[in-house]
Structure 1
């Protein structure tokens, strides 16, 4: 009998991303990420022949190779690699041969974009103000709101600039400057202009916003967007007259749906094409192996009358199409997570990178006129999946107290036996403006393999169900969202006789960690809880988080000086005296999104009161430990979660520990 998946199987998982069809339409380049025998991440380029379906590994070594981009003539692949010690742009012949380093930036380079004639590249280079003494110990003078960032630490005066490189002469010309981040560059079809996105200046109170810029090669800049917001992924129409892009205004703060826009470059007129589409244009799916893959830009149709894009809807990330009149249709109908694509619209086909609950991620080929008949191009986890048993989720919905439909899923243990009763874990996603759905999730499969029924749900506040639903938790954290989660638990315990209602546990990270903290302050229904990278005190979060100064206002409704009582009302720390559930607190030492002091405050408050609590601090780990942290620590984290639950459930032999034999295969 096949075993269930283990925490250590993280080392065997392979992840496919960033497919790129060659100009002749005969091949597709893509990236495969793995964890090597030293438990370090590495990634390599592969090329698959679309006629033969055979893949060849194109780069080797213990490096991170990524972002393959074909030259217009298809003879060269530009890519990003850290093989020289820091990310630089490299070139490699598409017929095989040695890679040649193109850039030598002190702070690294990336995001290569070929000019239409193939003679030059735009690359993103980090430029930093010169320091008198590179290694001198000196204080950091802070004058801006945005002075730190999760995953980056304390920020200095370093900004991404766009550099033009002549491929033959290697001559470099810096095109942008100033205290702004420049990203997502795109050449116009005639090679005379570039579009790119530009962050607001550090002195701006809304420094988290970005603008879309069109720049001529002689340096004239024109701002395209007419509203304040966050804009990205510009793509030119074939005639160069239109510029499509993605973005969101901040009408509902961080709960605002993403949209697809079209700008008529000559007149400056901008139209939101998806204004009547009540779902999120973008990939809002949460998971623990897909983090960091490049998000694909919209693609113009062959006739230039519409655009293809990814949208998140009812637990799926699917390909959609929008016309210039704003009519939106869903193109892919499979229950899955499309997280990447590349299209040959002239030849009417596309290659997708897609995942499902039992497929970590692979490439699929399909005609744009008949996407239901897909052909699988890769099966990179065939060896692993042939030896383990995964669980297929069962979907259910219910109507909440506001009349919204709430979508949820159950994972049964892979060796589920009719007639047994099983403990159940409630998993709560972060965001809160994100979405559980039909994608592979190692942690959920591990909990199922450890003998737990896993309940995961999209309560109000989640993407995928319209603007009113996604903003419904704002200024009400711990209100309607809490009721939705408890309603999901009640639905399962009332309708599923295989779930033991006396054996419930709960966990979640980030917002899910906040909600875990809130739940154990409201009820003792759960026998154990694990809170991860959580929020416990909105008053301190405001000043210590890298986003606290605006996120708190958006989500809770007040700045810290406006109504501190409201911030305290929504703080789980306030409820610490009511906590009776054994609580495990997991936190990264270098988390700047939900800083570790949030976990520290909760631990001290509970410990001082003699509550059952343990605090685990993960070194050199930021907010994304579970997705891209040190592989060994990721495995440790998963083991802590399962062991905490196992240790606090009743070992009564009455079916409550029906997972005992399965759990023996875990470690």
Structure 2
């Protein structure tokens, strides 16, 4: 038997992720997306796979190095629509259950995405990006288009709004998402919405005469963070507000099969972006809605912070065909679970709660499900679930060969006392080749957000560190999701306060509890908020031998004006603006560089608009001016998502830099 090895950064090229499982309505067939990375092309490719649940043999339905994703079954279950960039832009394609070539459904200048079938299977609503004055189907002449592209390079960018850039999209081009409808019988495409506001299709009414649409119709966009739901009457073009008077974020709307109810997710932003999303129910006949999970102190949705799954899609709200209840996903106590909610108020968990369920689908009867599940020592696979008995059966084993050659570290969960005596959850991972009686260095990992959650899931970076002989410690300090509204809100206005104390208590607990940790060899790293906290830590304690700060915040004063979210995020989280420079500076790690003695590696992406690279530049120059031990690595053509979905070769370079810095200084 070949001896197993530890995982390496470049193993990302060998690993595959399986996401977005979709059961046909009768529950007999399954389609899902498998994604892998090409080292030669330095890019990701995704393809659709099919499983007949009687035969349980995965079969590739699309091929090649393009991105094929978002498969959606027709109501009859004999066809599916999906999105592919095989023509150069995302367009809609259709496949038949009996096989054959994929048929293109759209060939639009600006592409197409987010398909939603009508309940009779005759139409598909979808999204297309258009400028306010642009109409669907209009095409520029080739010469005119070339001239426009050339001129575009020379034009200055005129900015009149505060929301003019996005980490995901760069400088915004004025395009908004609009809803169009494709008639499958005639091939005719009708543009349903237009203008300066963005719209997205959510779901069709059972009779096909109405469409649920989400949109922010506020005229003042810079200080508007609302998303409302509307019922669009396709026969009269009338639009009725579903969430009128409820200022907040509402989304994920799903019509009950009997047409009597609309279930949706959302919140009224009582705690700004730290507000837990709830489930709401709209009574169509009574024209009234209510929050049906007001007494349930959990986060509805998947808030797990991880670095592996590509294109993971949550299940939303899935009604059973009898309209008596629906399935949904929650983040709770470091795990995600699928729960069934009955209209009589009963709730039942269908999954055990010690894992990350990052995708889920169910048949129309609500008796059979398929879950995409990951654990710390398992990247993820699909499992068939008998909803009545809870019995599950593994359907895929996409990384079987790879897992046979590597040894992955499990994560042991524990609960310790943080600041103010609060219970805080943490995890410890032992190093590769662990031997009783030996001492090992420890790396503390800190997640971003801060409103996210470390969980019982696979994390490639953690496995790379354990393979290098480190103990990995991670925890969910206050501000994290998964532990109720008070817990997730507690960090606001207290950055560097009790969140810092929670993390230091995790280190203290680990040193007291696990005798295999070398207390003299500690390292710390984190990204985004975790990068802020890494900076804060090395400015307030010298207990760590080395630190790596990633895509971090160092100066809240400048962050206010340079981040794509700076002006409002700073006000929400630090609870100060430029009229209170003293408070912003008090919470800025840059103010404490004179106290930073820990060797600090600074990693940042050139095109990070969420935490712009000037945050790293300031920190690096301040430390170098004081002759501190530091190094700055800039990643070209990369944004805030480098560690999760960035260019594969740069993801490798990033992991190697972290590995080598700790090897040198811890």
Q: CA deviation at 1:208?
A: 3.0
CA contact (8 A) 1:427 1:455 kept: yes
2:75 to 49, 72, 90: 72
1:306 alignment partner, one of 322, 325, 339: 325
| 2:148 equivalent to 1:134 | yes
TM-superposed CA distance for 1:637, in Å, is 0.4
**Structure-1 residue corresponding to 2:611:** 594
Among 488, 495, 516, the residue aligned to 2:534: 516
SS at match of 2:100: coil
Distance of 2:661 and 2:529 partners within structure 1: 21
Q: Using the TM superposition, give the Cα deviation of residue 267 of structure 1 relative to its aligned residue in structure 2, in angstroms.
A: 2.9
* Structure 1 unaligned residues grouped into runs of 5+: 650-667
After superposition, the C-alpha distances for 1:367-406 in whole angstroms (9 at most, x for unaligned) are 11122x1111111110110110001111111122323210
Instruction: Note the C-alpha offset of 1:201.
Output: 4.2
Tell me which of 9, 14, 17 is aligned to 1:7. 9
d(CA) in 1 for partners of 2:651, 2:339: 34
Q: Deviations over 1:134-155 (max 9, x none)?
A: 2212122212221111120000
Q: For residues 587-614 of structure 1, what are the alpha-carbon distances to aligned partners after superposition, in whole Å with 9 as ceiling and x for unaligned?
A: 0111111111111111111111111111
Mapped to 2, the partners of 1:558 and 1:138 lie a distance apart of: 36
Match of 2:178 in 1: 161
**Structure 2: unaligned runs, 5 residues or longer:** 135-139
Query: Following TM superposition, by how much is the alpha carbon of 1:291 offset from its aligned partner in structure 2, in angstroms?
Result: 4.8
Residue 557 of structure 2 aligns with which residue? Answer: 539
Aligned twin of 2:137: none
**1:37 Cα shift?**
4.1
How many residue pairs end up in the alignment? 647
Structure 2 residue 291 is the aligned partner of structure 1 residue 277: no
Note the C-alpha offset of 1:25: 2.0
Q: Work out whether 1:19 is the aligned partner of 2:38.
A: no
* Aligned residue number for residue 167 of structure 2: 150
Please tell me whether residue 582 in structure 1 is matched to residue 599 in structure 2: yes
Matches within 5 A, 1:425-440: 425-440=443-458
Contact 1:277–1:328 (Cα < 8 Å) also in 2: no
Task: Quote the residue 1:36 is aligned against.
Answer: 38
Once the two structures are superposed, residues 313-361 of structure 1 have per-residue CA deviations (whole angstroms, 9 ceiling, x without a partner) of: 0010001223335443422114111111111141611111111112211
Pairwise CA distance, 1:512: 0.1
Residue number in structure 1 paired with 2:97:
94
Measured after TM superposition, the shift of residue 414 of structure 1 is 2.6
- Which of 230, 234, 242 aligns to 1:213? It is 230
Quick one: distance in 2 between partners of 1:223 and 1:113?
20
C-alpha separation between the residues in 1 aligned to 2:130 and 2:539?
48
* Cα drift, residue 202 of structure 1: 6.1
- 1:405 pairs, out of 410, 414, 423, with 423
Asked if 1 retains the 8 angstrom alpha-carbon contact of 2:336 and 2:353, the reply is no
* Superposed CA offset, 1:62-84 (max 9, x none): 11000111122222221000000
- DSSP 3-state at the match of 2:71: strand
Contact 1:179 1:201 in 2 (8 A): no
What is the CA deviation profile of residues 292-317 of structure 1, one whole-angstrom value per residue up to 9, with x for unaligned ones?
Answer: 42222111234423221100000100
2:56 to 53, 57, 71: 53
* Equivalent position of 1:663 in the other structure: none
Q: What is residue 365 of structure 2 aligned with on the other side? A: 346
2:282 alignment partner, one of 240, 243, 263: 263
Matches within 5 A, 1:112-127: 112-127=115-130
Is this contact kept in 1: 2:201–2:211, CA < 8 A?
Answer: no
Give TM-score, length-normalised by structure 2: 0.95
- Name the residue aligned to 2:441: 423
Equivalent in 596, 613, 616 of residue 633 of structure 2: 616
The whole-number CA distance in structure 2 between the counterparts of 1:165 and 1:100 is 14
Alignment-derived partner of residue 662 in structure 1: none
- TM-score scaled by length of structure 1: 0.95
Contact preservation (8 Å) 1:122, 1:185? no
CA–CA separation in structure 2 for the residues paired with 1:240 and 1:67: 25
Is structure 2 residue 264 aligned with structure 1 residue 242?
Answer: no
Per the alignment, residue 502 of structure 1 pairs with 520
- 2:111 maps to which residue? 108
Residue 333 (structure 1) aligns with: 352
Cα distance in 2 for partners of 1:560, 1:292 equals 38
Matched position secondary structure for 1:389:
coil
Confirm or deny: 8 A CA contact 2:85 2:91 kept in the other structure.
Answer: yes
**Matched residue, 2:578:** 560
Q: Post-superposition shift, 1:557?
A: 0.7
SS in 1 for 2:644: helix
Q: Which of 312, 315, 318 is 2:334 aligned to? A: 315
SS at match of 1:196: strand
1: CA distance, partners of 2:598 / 2:39: 39
1:27-62 CA-to-partner distances (Å, cap 9, x unmatched) read 101000111242310000000111111110000111
Task: Return the offset for 1:96.
Answer: 0.9
Find the aligned partners of 2:166 and 2:160 in 1 and give their Cα distance: 15
- CA 1:566 to 1:326, structure 2 compared with 1: closer, same or farther past 3 Å? farther
Please identify, of 545-554 and 195-204, the stretch whose mean Cα deviation from structure 2 is larger: 195-204
Alignment of 1:363 with 2:351, yes or no, is no
Matched, 1:385 2:403: yes
CA 203–139 in structure 1, closer or farther in 2 if over 3 Å, else same: farther
* 8 Å Cα contact 1:145/1:202 also seen in 2: no
- Give distance in 1, aligned partners of 2:440 and 2:492: 35
1:199 and 2:206 are equivalent in the alignment? no
Residues 446 and 116 (structure 1), Cα distance of their counterparts in 2 relative to 1, 3 Å cut: same
Per the alignment, do residues 613 and 44 of structure 1 end up closer, same or farther by CA in structure 2, a change over 3 Å counting? Answer: same
* Structure 1 Cα separation of the partners of residues 366 and 437 of structure 2: 54
